[in-house]
Structure 1
Amino acid sequence: MAAIVPRTDSPGTDVFAIRHGFFIVRSDLGCFLQVLDLCLGQDIKVWDLHPACRGGDHYLGDPTSSAIYLLRGDSFYEVLDLSSEPPSSALPLHPSCQGGDHYAFSEGRFFVFFLMRGVVLSVADLATGATAKEICLEPTLLHGLYYYGADATHLACFRMDEENGLRCHLFATTGHESFPVHPDVVSFLPGGLALTHGAAFGAWECLKLISNATDLPMPSSHEITRRVGYSKLAFSQTYHITGSLDPESLAVSLLQHHFSLPAAYGGLGLRTEQEEWEEAAEEEEPLRVILQPRQKLYWWHYRLGLGKEPILFCRSLKVTRTPSPPTHIPLPPADC
Structure 2
Amino acid sequence: MAAIVPHSDSSGTDVFATRHGSFIVRSDLGCFLQALDFCSGQALKVWDLHPACRGGDHYVGDPTGSAVYLLRGDSFCKVPDLSSEPPSSTLTLHPSCQGGDHYASCEGRFFVFFLTRGVVLSVADLATGATAKEASLEPSILDGLYYYGADATHLTCLKMDEENGLRGHRFSTTGHSEVFSVHPDVVSFLPGGLSITYGPAFGAWECLKLISNATDLPMPSNHEITRKVGYSKLMWTQKYPVSGSVDSEALAISLLQRQFFLPTTNGGMGLRTEQEEWEEVAEEGESLRVILQPRQKLYWWHYQLGLGKEPILFCRSLKVTRSPSPPTHIPLPLADS
Bin for the TM-score computed over the shorter chain? over 0.9
Contact 2:52 2:86 in 1 (8 A): yes
Residues 158-237 of structure 1: pairs in structure 2 closer than 5 A: 158-163=158-163, 165-172=165-172, 173-233=174-234, 236-237=237-238
Contact 1:234 1:311 in 2 (8 A): no
- 2:109 partner letter: R
In structure 1, the gaps of 5 or more residues are none
> Shift of the alpha carbon at 1:131?
1.1
The equivalent of 2:129 in structure 1 is 129
The equivalent of 1:321 in structure 2 is 322
Residues 9-48 of structure 1: pairs in structure 2 closer than 5 A: 9-48=9-48
> Shift of the alpha carbon at 1:237?
3.9
The two structures have a TM-score, normalised by structure 1, of 0.98
Contact 1:47 1:241 in 2 (8 A): yes
Contact 2:47 2:246 in 1 (8 A): yes
Contact 1:234 1:309 in 2 (8 A): no
What's the CA shift string for 1:271-303, capped at 9, x where partnerless? Answer: 100100001110011111111100000000000
Residues 1-336 of structure 1: pairs in structure 2 closer than 5 A: 1-163=1-163, 165-172=165-172, 173-233=174-234, 236-336=237-337
User: Within 1, Cα distance between the matches of 2:78 and 2:49?
Assistant: 15
What's the CA shift string for 1:2-54, capped at 9, x where partnerless? Answer: 11111011111100000000000001110000001211111000001000000
SS of the equivalent of 1:270 reads: coil
The alignment of Structure 1 onto Structure 2 pairs a total of residues equal to 336
> Shift of the alpha carbon at 1:318?
0.2
- 2:287 partner letter: P
Structure 1 vs Structure 2 CA RMSD? 1.0
User: Within 2, Cα distance between the matches of 1:80 and 1:175?
Assistant: 32
SS of the equivalent of 1:193 reads: helix
The two structures have a TM-score, normalised by structure 2, of 0.98
Is the deviation greater in 232-241 or in 181-190? 232-241
Which consecutive segments of 4 or more residues in structure 1 shift more than 4 A?
A: none
User: Within 2, Cα distance between the matches of 1:244 and 1:231?
Assistant: 23
SS of the equivalent of 1:252 reads: helix
> Shift of the alpha carbon at 1:185?
0.3
> Shift of the alpha carbon at 1:163?
2.3
SS of the equivalent of 1:241 reads: coil
User: Within 1, Cα distance between the matches of 2:148 and 2:235?
Assistant: 33
User: Within 1, Cα distance between the matches of 2:40 and 2:209?
Assistant: 47
Contact 1:200 1:268 in 2 (8 A): yes
Change in 2 beyond 3 A, CA 1:44/1:235:
closer
SS of the equivalent of 2:185 reads: helix
> Shift of the alpha carbon at 1:333?
0.8
SS of the equivalent of 1:8 reads: helix
- 1:96 partner letter: S
- 1:279 partner letter: E
What's the CA shift string for 1:127-163, capped at 9, x where partnerless? Answer: 1111111111111110000000011111110011122
Contact 2:262 2:268 in 1 (8 A): yes
> Shift of the alpha carbon at 1:94?
1.1
